[in-house]
Amino acid sequence: MPKFPGAGGLDLQRLMKEAQKLQSEMARVEEELANAEVEGTAGGGMVKVTVTCSMQFKAIEIQKEVVDPDDVEMLQDLILAAINAAVQKAEEKRREEMSKVAGMGLPNMPVKW
């Protein structure tokens, strides 16, 4: 295939192959992230939340010692803190893995999420 005249001699066929490769790699990483699990904890590990990197919550574990019927608000705060920690870890892992794929992408291609 001839070089595309307006792109400074850019080989369009090679560019299309690279784009397909990048798309395939992104799909593979997305699938891996859908199954990758991270944990968020609060209260020194008294509350633990497990979530996938596609934001599917898998488990919440609460130690008996943190359950106080006279202080339900503290338990609620710990659960929210653990959820937020898990979501943050999942987002960080997702961003890290997707940036690896974007780094192998097309030259001068902007990366946006």
Residue 39 lies in a domain: yes
Task: Read off the pLDDT of each residue in 89-113 and give the average, rounded to a whole number.
Answer: 72
Residue 92 lies in a domain: yes
Residue 113 lies in a domain: no
Number of domains in the chain: 1
Residue 99 lies in a domain: yes
Domain CATH code at residue 70:
3.30.1310.10
Estimate the crossing angle of helix 72-103 against helix 12-35, to 10 degrees.
160
Residue 27 lies in a domain: yes
Q: How far apart are the first and last CA of the chain?
A: 32
Neighbours of 49 (CB within 10 A): 25
Residue 109 lies in a domain: no
Which spans in the chain are helix H? 12-35, 72-103
Q: Which domain holds residue 54?
A: 12-103
Taking only Cα atoms into account, the Rg of the chain, rounded to an integer number of angstroms, comes to 22
- Residue 32 · residue 69 · CB < 8 Å: no
| pLDDT per residue as tens digits for the range 22-77 | 888 888 888 888 899 999 999 999 999 999 998 999 999 999 999 999 999 999 99
Residue 79 lies in a domain: yes
Residue 45 lies in a domain: yes
In whole angstroms, how far apart are CA 56 and each of 19, 76, 87? 29, 20, 10
The CA distance from 107 to 102, in Å, is 10
